[in-house]
Structure 1
């Protein structure tokens, strides 16, 4: 099975030497970005320090793109590591999800919502 992130025809929004960003094909909110290392690697924990720095740089650059284009009021940043955590594409990618006031009734708990009954505390 070929990796959808290793495809030459992928439309990159921004990139640097070691990573790039694309819009998520199944966005949680408008503007949902994925930050992806260029090297095919399955887990965040297998990335090099240089790749992590490159992804962090694109998180900042991506935030600037989203602020200009969508003006979100907040962000969720997350990585699914392993099948038990919900990873479905085994090429590590960081989700940068813009959040908007009232996009859900009660956003309290944010990323804790991966286990819905644990989100509100």
Structure 2
């Protein structure tokens, strides 16, 4: 497996609050205790090999991500009974990728949360997010 010395996801076992819930040949599903207080049930799927972004995933990693996503969905439905899910990857600084190791967010959503009904596009489609007009 490709490994990066300073990558928190290549070295996630050094964080005692990060836990593997599921894994397959190429990927892990991790949950971090710190995120469970607000984003109950949330976690990420990461490739075991260091991939800086989603576009670098191999076909096998894509397939294994899909496999884990289905397994995680069933687990989260049984354990937390969410009303929906927000799923997503951030790629690059402009999209808020803060850790340069591809990670797929799985976030259970609930009708009684303050931001219910506001998914990934809620903030980026606001008029104040419009790019400044290019100057001649």
TM more than 0.5: yes
Where does residue 113 of structure 1 map in the other structure? 122
- Give the count of matched residue pairs: 117
What is the CA RMSD across the aligned residues, in angstroms?
2.0
Which one has the largest radius of gyration?
Answer: 2
Q: Does 1:12 align with 2:12?
A: no
Name whichever of 55-64 and 2-11 sits farther off: 2-11
Q: Normalized against structure 2, the TM-score is what?
A: 0.77
Where does residue 58 of structure 2 map in the other structure? 48
Q: Tell me if the contact between 1:33 and 1:62 (Cα under 8 Å) persists in the aligned partners.
A: no
Return closer, same or farther for 1:58/1:115 CA change in 2, 3 Å cut-off: same
Return closer, same or farther for 1:18/1:106 CA change in 2, 3 Å cut-off: closer
Equivalences for 1:1-121 in 2 at 5 Å?
A: 2-7=6-11, 9=13, 11-24=19-32, 25-26=34-35, 29-104=39-114, 107-108=117-118, 110-115=119-124, 117=126
Q: Normalized against structure 1, the TM-score is what?
A: 0.86
Q: Tell me if the contact between 1:6 and 1:38 (Cα under 8 Å) persists in the aligned partners.
A: yes
Runs of 4+ off more than 3 Å: 24-28
